[in-house]
Amino acid sequence: MKFGVVIFPGSNCDFDTFHVLKNVIQQPTTWLWHKDHGLQGVDCVVLPGGFAYGDYLRSGAIARFSPLMQEVGEFADKGGVVLGICNGFQVLLELGLLPGAMLRNKNLKFLCQFVTIRLENEGTRFTHKGKKGQVLRVPIAHFDGNYFAPPETLKEIEENSQVVFRYSGANGSLTEEANVNGSLHSIAGLMNKRGNVMGLMPHPERASERLLGSEDGRVIFESIISKF
């Protein structure tokens, strides 16, 4: 499976993501510069973490107008697989490929720490190698990860089982304390209705090697490359 990692000015998890896809998951991986045209025949586009365009105005707000992002939108419309990590998730929300928006974390602090998230839906191309209820230990690093959607949108998301991950305790319990950034319904990861686009705030690419303290994030990449 061929991966493309998009680079925006201000991306800073692009190299980590590229490294994990190429060297850990061992898949052909290419760079996609945000101003270029053409997705170079990739099967999966990954929008990495960082601060695209400095996150001026709102996180992800300017990045969505990059020339390449229009093509990523068309790619997703045709069923192409798109994964947005952290800032990449914010870009997908601003682009409208995923429903809702991000607000500042409830405690108004930049949160940089390990969290635990519970896998909610194992019937997706991003998680089918995992088990529902499984708890992953993965890091977060963001200022705007407080997920918001109007009540009718939230209802639709839940009814369609679009919530892929929720912030939870290490035992899988959903508590206010575990919901570190204040996200509605403790949402940490979300996919579109069709199931080909997913965004998540935690960084699976920073938790894919034992050396870095956790390998729990690998299940996402391993699911993507396996037959679904």
Question: By CB under 8 A, is residue 130 in contact with another protein?
Answer: no
Is 86 an active-site residue? Answer: yes
Nearer to another protein, 86 or 149 (CB): 149
Catalytic, out of 34, 44, 86, 120: 86
The reply on whether position 19 binds another protein by CB under 8 A is no
Quick check: is 203 catalytic?
A: yes
CB-based contacts of 150: which residues, under 8 Å, 6+ apart? Answer: none
C-beta atoms surrounding 102 within 10 Å: 24
Residue 149 found at the interface with another protein (CB under 8 A): yes
By CB under 8 A, residue 148 contacts another protein: yes
Find the helix or strand (DSSP H, E) in which 47 lies: strand 44-47
Minimum CB distance to another protein smaller for 60 or for 195? 60
H-helix or E-strand spanning residue 83: strand 81-85
Question: Is 124:164 a contact under the CB 8 Å cutoff?
Answer: yes
- 């586009």: which residue's tokens? 45
By the rule CB under 8 A, 103 interacts with another protein: yes
Residue 94 engages another protein in binding (rule: CB under 8 A): yes
CA–CA distances in Å: residue 70 to residues 5, 11, 134, 148, 224: 15, 18, 35, 24, 23
For residues 188 to 227, the per-residue mask of contacts with another protein, x marking binding by CB under 8 A and - elsewhere, is ----------------------------------------
Q: How many residues does the chain have?
A: 228
Show which residues are catalytic. Answer: 86, 203, 205
Contact positions toward another protein, by CB under 8 A?
A: 57-58, 61, 65, 94, 100-101, 103-108, 148-150, 182
